[in-house]
Structure 1
Amino acid sequence: MSIERPVAPNPYDLLPATASFTVTSADVTAGAPLKDDQVAALGNTSPQLSWSGAPEGTRSFVVTCLDPDAPTPCGFWHWVLVDLPPSCTSLATGAASGPLPGSAFHCRNDGGGKGFMGAAPPQGDQVHRYFFVVHAVGEDSLGVDSDASPAVVSFNLAFKTLGRAILHGTYQH
C-alpha cells in the first residue's frame, strides 16, 4: 500500500528564473525510474551526466540531486558537488566516488556523507522524484567549504546562478 501525499511542485519553479541549458545522462531518463545503480541499497553510484549550452559568463558549476518528495518539510539532498571548473562538461558514472576535476569538492548530503547517496525512499511511500541539476555559476568558487549544509549551498546559489540544467528520474520501493 502506497502512502499518498500531495505532489510537491518542482522546487526550481519556485526560485527566480534563470537561463536554462541542457543536461543529459546515459543513466537517468527524464521522468523514468532510476536504474538500480542509482539506488542506495542496490548500487549507490552517481549517474553519468553531460551538459552543454551553459550561459556566457559561466565560471564554475555545481551539481546537486534533490528529492523534494521525501517526507520532510524541505526534501532530502542526495548530492552536492561544488566548484567544478568551467571546462568540465560531463561526469562519468561513479564520478562522485573518484577524483574530482580541478578544485571541485563535495559538501555533505542529508545522509551525512560527502558524495552521492542513492535513492532511498521509505518502503511503501509514493513515487519520489530525483532532480539532478547542473547550476552554472558566475564565480570561480561558490564561496562555501565542504562542511556547508545543502541549505547554505542553495542559498549561495540563489545569488550566483546564471542558469540551470535539470533532469529528473523517479524511484519507489
Structure 2
Amino acid sequence: MTEATTTDLREIPFQTADGGTATLSDYAGNVLLVVNVASRCGLTPQYEQLEQLQRAYADRGFTVLGFPCNQFMGQEPGSIDDILEYCSTTWGVTFPVFDKVNVNGGKAAPLYKELKRTRDADGKKGRVGWNFEKFVITPEGSVHRFRSKVKPDDPAIVEVIEAHLPR
C-alpha cells in the first residue's frame, strides 16, 4: 500500500559497509527495494531473487539495498566483512549491502523508524515482522511495503517496480 511518510526518506543517513555515510538521495531517480537481510534464515534464498531483480532492472533505474539485521533469532551474527563475503560467494550479490542495522526497538535505524510508518497490503504498519521484509520506494517518494514471505519476484512487487522505472 502506498503511503507518504512524514520525513523525507531520501535525506536520512545510514552507514555503508565500509564505514561511510549514504542516503537514499544517492540513488535519486531510481526505484529502490530496501530489504533487511540475514544469512542464516529460512528465507535467505530470497537473495537469489533479489539479485535477479537487480540484474534485470539495474540498467533501467532500479537498485536493491540490503541492510543486514541480527534482531531475529540471531540469524545474521557475522561481521560486515563476513556478510559481504557470504553474499558475494554464495549468492553472487552485486547490489549494495550496508552496515548492520536494528529495524525494531529503541535502537532502530532512523531509516527503518520512518519506513515502518508505511502500511502493508493488509493495512498494518509498525514493527518489521521478520528478515527479508521489503519496502519499494519510487522515485516520487511513495513507499510500498511487502512482508517477509512475499518473495522478491512476486507479481505485486514486480508490478510496482515496473510501473515506476524511470527509463
Instruction: Tell me whether the two structures share a fold, i.e. TM-score over 0.5.
Output: no
User: TM-score scaled by structure 2?
Assistant: 0.28
User: TM-score scaled by structure 1?
Assistant: 0.27
Considering only CA atoms, is the larger Rg found in Structure 1 or Structure 2?
Answer: 1
Which of the two has greater helix per residue? Answer: 2
Which of the two has greater strand per residue? Answer: 1
